[in-house]
Structure 1
Amino acid sequence: MIEKILTDYITFIRSFEALLKDKYQKDINPCSFSITFFERLGSINGIEYYFHGSGCTVKKDGIIYTYDISINEITFTQWDLTELIRTHPEYQKLNYSEDYIEYELYQLINKGILEWLTFERIEGKAFGCVFKCYRVVQESFFLQ
């Protein structure tokens, strides 16, 4: 079921981005041009959005989608996915624990569909550790 949830998550994000690209006639990721061409806080087709740093929080029909963009890849934390599940009328009934979600995401890492997102340096300090962030490396797996 986590694969279905991630499929819905990624499909929604890419559809939202397509709306912005179409409206502003740009063929690049909206995070790249949000400062220049439109307000970082707004709405489009009943979708409220807020661009922040390298990411975006999007809300539609009470469902919250938060994510970050690295070049053109979707990155997210376990909290981002948990927030989607918590606010989605169908998914919240599943009562998934954080441990279960983490385990299922780890299975997708083992399949090569996701990867850990590691931070080598933050503000000049070497970390070389994982902050439970995930990077979608096989988006086509979800968008079949």
Structure 2
Amino acid sequence: MINLIIREILNDYVAFINDFKHQFSPNMEEFEQRSSRNRSGNIGEFKYQFHGAGCRLEKDAIVCEFDYMPTNEYPIKFSIWKINEFILTNNTYSINKLELSELYEALHPLVENGTLVKLVLDHVVWEVYQI
């Protein structure tokens, strides 16, 4: 089931994050500066908390965790756990339980075709996806 809707989920995930980013600050430089000063709060319908390179968003009971690291052309980074949290708290998909291995199997072809890119730091490939 997850294989059929994984692209839709990723589109929704990125749109959710971008909606927050545009409300927080439409300018990327300003976003970076404001996120280092305003570590938690509310903006619009979003509740947010920055923690290290990570950010936790909540809106309408949907939890969206992501890492924001503008170290390359892929500023949004996430782990399997983070996208799983988004899926399970989002009623749109009607998924109550999802094995992480099943999610990994759905994401793997997207890495192979270049839709997603794994994070590489110091020649180490991490189980972190970038989009």
Fold similarity call, TM over 0.5: yes
Work out the CA distance in 2 between the residues paired with 1:87 and 1:63.
5
Work out the CA distance in 2 between the residues paired with 1:27 and 1:81.
23
Note if contact 2:41-2:49 (Cα within 8 Å) is conserved in structure 1: yes
Using the size of structure 2 for normalisation, the TM-score is 0.83
1:62-81 alignment runs, 5 A limit: 62-71=61-70, 73-81=75-83
Distance 1:27 1:69, change over 3 A: closer
Work out the CA distance in 2 between the residues paired with 1:34 and 1:75.
16
Using the size of structure 1 for normalisation, the TM-score is 0.77
- 1:39-72 Cα distance to aligned partner (Å, 9 max, x none): 2110011210001111210000111001011216
Q: Which residue of 2 aligns with 1:109?
A: 111
Which region of structure 1 is more displaced relative to structure 2, 10-19 or 89-98? 89-98
Q: Which residue of 1 aligns with 2:127?
A: 132
Q: CA RMSD in A?
A: 1.9
The count of residues paired between Structure 1 and Structure 2 equals 124
Displacement over 3 Å in runs of 4+: 128-131
Q: Which one has the largest radius of gyration?
A: 1
The structure that is strand-richer by fraction is: 1
Q: Which has the higher contact order (CA 8 A, sep 6+)?
A: 1
Work out the CA distance in 2 between the residues paired with 1:115 and 1:29.
26
Work out the CA distance in 2 between the residues paired with 1:85 and 1:93.
7
> Percent identity at matched positions?
29
Which region of structure 1 is more displaced relative to structure 2, 65-74 or 92-101? 92-101
1:10 aligns with 2:5: no
Note if contact 2:88-2:96 (Cα within 8 Å) is conserved in structure 1: no
Structure 1 residue runs without a partner (length 5+)? 121-127, 137-144
Note if contact 1:31-1:54 (Cα within 8 Å) is conserved in structure 2: no
Work out the CA distance in 1 between the residues paired with 2:93 and 2:114.
25
1:130 alignment partner AA: V
Structure 2 residue runs without a partner (length 5+)? none
1:21 aligns with 2:16: no
CA apart distance, 1:92: 4.5
Note if contact 1:31-1:55 (Cα within 8 Å) is conserved in structure 2: no
